[in-house]
Structure 1
């Protein structure tokens, strides 16, 4: 009898252990699922001015991404090179820059993928000098100090403008500064010219009464690009929502430049007039990456390699979303 009771108790114990084990597995499975769900965060980098900034302010992207289980973590950057460095080290999943930063980033083996672009806007960047400067044209920059953000879209503008004038980067003294520091240097006459993009350009034109000696017309495209990483490029559902919301935000900006300027002014610390001027001279729309756009990017890459601004030749197609899908 005692033997039977012992066997019975052992059987009950075994059953209880199996139940406990099953519960533990279920709990662990639930924990893993919760962890997986919590990992569905899209880290988006944005700059002081741009469609992504508006999209962040409107809050509509978070609403629609939440429907498919994603949250959004926003980080502001002073310019494209810094944003793409964060993307390169794995701190970002999505962001936007001008045309030159992706070239420098790809040359540094950043795992970037072109997703979409906005139309060309060559008048949205320029080389400016003080209103009373004796510098009349780009040829007059020989031997002068020229301020710019290294690796940004205006880097290519400067190269092309110098080339057009029969000069090279070796004929000037580049002073590499982010926009805020460059403006201070420009106002303090520490640099002779400043190569800058909107909305900083518009602000300088209105507040400092600068003189433009060359803008991007006929030289550069000056497109804004939206990029992601190799690892995030497969999240087609999330990227589709982001592009749809960018299109909506872009349309709203185009139709309401005055309201957008008033809204952004206190947020980014620029005058309504400067922001409205910028918004009225930019081109709108979101375009799929085309062969023409990739060819233009390849020309920039080849130019930078020839000038030894990047260490090796790169193939822009290696960062094409279409190629990644193959």
Structure 2
């Protein structure tokens, strides 16, 4: 009798241990999101709706800020985050470097939210005048492609300029002290330089680039947690729709997060694209063109296939996204 009782007790303890382990694992499950200083993810983080939605599934949301897209995708590549947002070019460089990522969704084009700047009193009056000049940019960022296209449109080669690869804060410092002749940058850094430094816009992305913002995930996370990724995109889309309908409210929310005055923040907010959608064939085609451009310039070592790294949403989610 004692033996039977002991066995039953041990069995009960074993079941309890398994249950506790399952609960602990569920509690420990996390979605790690990388974001930059500006964009829809900043608004989503402030809103807190994603945390509430995923808490019901026992998933904790953890946020990590990055200074730019290349740095964020390096975090994605080494496994420190599961999901993040960047401009058009960083995913191309990341894929070329072997990162196992997937494109999940994109925002509408926002070509005016990136530009080539020169100091107010600069003698440079056109992109063609940049020949032989030092141009600061974040290597592999969205503005890298803008610079390539602008030079091409002006009849110049990339080799006709002296690229100076710097992250935004260092690039602004170099621009202010006159160590570089031009700076290619995105919002809100762009809006801040225009207003605070009276920097002159030489050329923005209009008629040159789409300047999509892309949401990406590690392949392993997206394949293991398709419903979480879908929920995340739905929350991003909802925040974007709210932003389109009330840009003044967004400005009020974002300005203190950026540490910028409201008038500067408002400029950036109004130039941004809102309304995340799953990736369409047209977006794949545009992104393939960017990849092929950098391959031709020998800035990436091999030809890429963008179609091979597009995430497929669960059945029914694509139709919902189109509504």
**1:65 match:** 54
What residue in structure 1 maps to residue 165 of structure 2?
Answer: 176
- Residue by residue over 1:204-225, the C-alpha shift from the partner in whole angstroms, topping out at 9 and shown as x without a partner, is 1111111111111111110001
Counterpart-to-counterpart distance in 2, 1:323 and 1:107: 24
- CA displacement at 1:17 relative to structure 2: 3.9
1: CA distance between counterparts of 2:67 and 2:124? 29
CA deviations 1:48-97 (Å, max 9, x no partner) are 00000000011111011112221100111111111111111111111111
Among 103, 106, 115, which residue is 1:126 paired with?
115
Residue ranges of structure 2 left out of the alignment (5+ in a row):
316-323
Across the aligned residues of Structure 1 and Structure 2, the Cα RMSD in angstroms comes to 1.7
Residue number in structure 1 paired with 2:99: 110
Equivalent in 245, 258, 263 of residue 253 of structure 2: 263
Report SS of the residue matched to 1:194. strand
- 2:266 aligned with 1:241: no
- The partner residue of 1:147 within 136, 160, 164 is 136
In 2, the alpha carbon distance for the partners of 1:300 and 1:52 equals 24
Equivalent in 251, 271, 277 of residue 281 of structure 1:
271
- Mapped to 1, the partners of 2:24 and 2:308 lie a distance apart of 33
CA offset at residue 323 of structure 1? 9.7
2:268 equivalent to 1:302: no
Distance 1:84 1:216, change over 3 A: same
Displacement of 1:31 in angstroms is 3.3
> What is the aligned partner in structure 2 of residue 204 from structure 1?
193
Structure 1 segments, 4+ long, off by >4 Å, are: none
TM-score by length of 2: 0.93
Cα displacement string for residues 258-307 of structure 1 (whole angstroms, at most 9, x for unaligned residues): 22222222222112111101112233222221111001111111111111
Gaps of 5+ in 1: 1-11
**How many aligned residue pairs are there?**
314
Task: Report the CA distance between 1:13 and its aligned residue.
Answer: 4.5
Contact 2:226 2:313 in 1 (8 A): no
1:221 corresponds in structure 2 to: 210
Mapping of residues 30-49 of structure 1, within 5 Å: 30-49=19-38
Q: 1:264 & 1:287 partners in 2: Cα distance? A: 23
Kindly indicate whether the alpha-carbon contact (under 8 Å) linking 2:33 and 2:83 is maintained by their aligned counterparts in 1: yes
